Amino acid sequence: MRSLRHYARLLVVQMRTSLTLAVQYRLDFFLEGALALFWLAITLIPLLVVFSRRESVAGWSFPEALVVVGWFSVLKAVLDGGVTPSLNFVVEGVRKGTLDFVLLKPADAQFLVSTARFEPWRILDFLGSIGVLVYAFHRLGRAPRVGDLMVGFALFAVAVILLYSLWILVVSVSFRVVKVDNLSYLFISIFDAGRWPIDVFKGALRLIFTVVFPLALMTTYPAQALLGKLTSAHALLAGTGGLAFAAIARFVWKRALRAYSSASS
Amino acid sequence: MIRARELCKTYRVHRRPPGLLAALRSVVRRRYEEVRALVDVSFAIAPGERVGFLGPNGAGKTTALKILSGLLYPTSGSVTVGEFVPQERRSEFLHMITLVMGQKQQLLWDLPPAETFAMNRALFDLPRREADATQKELVDLLEVGPLIGKPTRQLSLGERMKCELVAALLHRPRVLFLDEPTIGLDVSMQARVRDFIRRYNESTGASVLLTSHYMEDVAALCPRVIVIDKGHLIYDGDLRTLARRIRPEKRITMHFSSLPAPGELDRLGSCVARSELQATLAVPAAQVTEAVRAALGRLPISDISVEDPPLEEIMQEFLGGQPANGRVKSA
């Protein structure tokens, strides 16, 4: 109980520090906020282009596909605002050896690095994405059912866990190879494919995006849940997948810490 | 308090000759080499002791400190600090130690040091009143009161180091690992940091393990030194004893009111430095009194002083003439 309180306090302190850092440079803060909204608008362009020529793609109508994009953007906002900054902090720490200071603190190192940095202005991105989701349902002419919404929320948690676990795996690699900038670009590029419903992909790619890099579990399934189209088997698969990835990530992280060689003085 | 037994650490490093061609070749085929950073190093340090780690660059000093603080895993051998194995990173262990690195900083670059202090208070779960009292005490001792509200990036190197010390000692550690804490500081700042470390050690009884390139630091702070060279422990014992063993001589520096007669100086000892009206002689310790008496009697002396040879010079000679696996028995 005491340690739970300790970690809750730590989280508050870490978030407060990130906020203080963010507002330290005012112009930067506003620019980042504006950029976040700009990129959200850009995200919609491919979809608008495709659907300007046809009514449906792989069985998905425009508003339905918009639900996937909205969901993808919500997740991307969480990734950009809550996950990527922290993990970039680790990669930097490994390269420069400043991760030493994290490992010398009496708290779980994975918790510390995962909460090290947040980008508060991404909240704009997040709200904008919710706006896209609301608009999509408005186009559909109905609101999601309460039950579907609940499953959607649960899958949102699963998606965040999946995303975070994958990032932890990428970062764990940095303990061995030190420089992983390109790996993180690759990660972000692959994640970008999540804006499309999984049915758009065929064959091996579909399998990879369901099992190896489970984009389907992150964006398509939750969107299907909101639309009331997800089977319980798929919901269960997503839940199990999330837990499995979290366990694997924790295991790999622990192993990777052993390989940390710090940087020379 | 600290015990290291037959500590070995081997790094596997990628090595290639310089040049683009070699770089391209290394993309396809990597050649790895094993570097032995520590080889069978054993020592024990008692509570409250101040010990200096000495050795040339790349000798393995920092590696040893990082193993002791749990950051690196030894390839073989064992370490305990208190009753803990550092690599287990137990909370009680991390509460007990601190590591200060002159080359790296934990202070948040864009924020004032006070923010880092607040974060460390939360990290170490320190009761507010106790943490406030410790912070005030450290801030007063190091005279950094007006600095802790300024962004770290606006502080000078010395100011940053003093704030680093506050951040590192807020949880009142009982073991201090200090890796070149005075690097890059000017002489007076070095002296102040040294003085602070000594006072902390004396008032809290904390053990201090220090590495430094400045022999002054080690001479002023550490009665005992551990010398490491190419990963091997080559001396463990009293610094003065080592100095006397390497250079069993004293330096007599004389200033003259007029030119001394030729040949007179050579009779007193061997000359190590000479200018027109000044000379420094190396004289065996046992003959110093006699030599001084003779000098005062025969030479036009205006000032005279007797000192030990500079420690830098002694260490240079010691490390230069030492076989890699040789070991000088401690005193």
Nearest-CA residue of chain A relative to B183?
Answer: A265
CA distance A222 to A234: 10
Average pLDDT over residues A181-210: 79
> Is B45-243 CATH 3.40.50.300?
yes
Beta-carbon contacts below 8 Å between A and B: 76
Name which of A25, A229, A52, A84 is nearest A144 in CA terms.
Answer: A229
Average pLDDT over residues A234-258: 89
* pLDDT of res. B40: 93
Name which of A1, A246, A10 is nearest A106 in CA terms.
Answer: A10
Cβ-proximal residues to A240 (8 Å cutoff; 6+ apart), any chain: none
Instruction: Residue B109: count other Cβ atoms within 10 Å of its Cβ.
Output: 11
Structure confidence at residue A66 as a pLDDT band (50, 70, 90): confident
Q: Is the pLDDT of residue A264 over 60?
A: no
Number of H helices, E strands in chain A: 13, 2
Residue B151 or residue A183, greater confidence: B151
The ranges assigned to domains in chain B are 45-243, 248-307
* pLDDT of res. B116: 93
Q: Do A17 and B108 touch (CB under 8 A)?
A: yes
Nearest-CA residue of chain A relative to B164?
Answer: A101
CA distance B67 to B300: 57
Name which of B72, B97, B79 is nearest B41 in CA terms.
Answer: B79
Residue A116: HSE in the Cβ half-sphere, 13 Å Cα cutoff: 25
Cβ within 8 Å of B, A 44-73: none
* pLDDT of res. B136: 94
Q: What share of chain B is helix, strand, coil (3-state, %, to 5)?
A: 40, 30, 30
- What is this structure's pTM? 0.81
Give the C-alpha distances (Å, rounded to integers) separating A226 from A44, A57, A126, A129, B142.
19, 19, 17, 15, 60
Name which of B323, B315, B154 is nearest B232 in CA terms.
Answer: B323
Shortest alpha-carbon distance between residue B275 and chain A (Å): 40
Chain A positions touching B67 (Cβ under 8 A) are: none
* pLDDT of res. B329: 41
Residue A100 near residue A58 (C-beta atoms within 8 A): no
| DSSP character string of A67-122 | HHHHHHHHHHHHIIIIIHHHHHHHHHHHHHTTHHHHHTSSS-HHHHHHTS---TTH
Structure confidence at residue A178 as a pLDDT band (50, 70, 90): low
CA distance A217 to A223: 10
Name which of B110, B210, B102, B111 is nearest B165 in CA terms.
Answer: B102
Is A6 in CB contact (< 8 Å) with chain B?
yes
Average pLDDT over residues B213-239: 89
* pLDDT of res. B323: 43
Nearest-CA residue of chain A relative to B116?
Answer: A17
In a 3-state reduction of DSSP, which class is residue B299? coil
Q: What is the pLDDT of residues A88-146, one digit of tens each?
A: 888 888 878 888 999 999 998 889 988 988 888 888 888 888 998 899 999 888 888 88
Q: Which of A105, A111, A176, A257 to mutate to test the interface with B (most CBs of B within 10 A)?
A: A105
Q: Is the pLDDT of residue A42 over 90?
A: no
Q: Is the pLDDT of residue B331 over 60?
A: no
Name which of A175, A147, A158, A264 is nearest A220 in CA terms.
Answer: A158
Q: Do A97 and B125 touch (CB under 8 A)?
A: no
Task: Give chain A's mean pLDDT.
Answer: 83
Task: Give chain B's mean pLDDT.
Answer: 87
Q: What is the pLDDT of residues A67-104, one digit of tens each?
A: 888 888 888 888 888 888 888 888 888 878 888 999 99
Tell me the CATH number for domain B248-307: 3.30.70
Token pair belonging to A45: 């362009």
Which secondary-structure segment (H or E) carries B118?
helix B113-123
Name which of A233, A234, A212, A213 is nearest A223 in CA terms.
Answer: A234
Say what angle helices A146-177 and A84-96 make with each other, to 10 degrees.
Answer: 10
CA distance A252 to A261: 16
Residue A224 near residue A198 (C-beta atoms within 8 A): no
Q: Is the pLDDT of residue B195 over 70?
A: yes
Phi-psi label, residue B173: left if phi above 0, alpha if psi -120 to 50, beta otherwise: beta
- Interface ipTM: 0.79
Structure confidence at residue B330 as a pLDDT band (50, 70, 90): very low
Q: Which residue has the tokens 């709200």?
A: A127
Question: Which of B99, B118, B179 lies at the smallest CB-CB distance from A104?
Answer: B99
The ranges assigned to domains in chain A are 2-259
Residue A255: HSE in the Cβ half-sphere, 13 Å Cα cutoff: 11
Q: Do B103 and A265 touch (CB under 8 A)?
A: yes
Chain B positions touching A261 (Cβ under 8 A) are: 11, 72
CA distance A114 to B285: 62
Q: Is the pLDDT of residue A262 over 80?
A: no
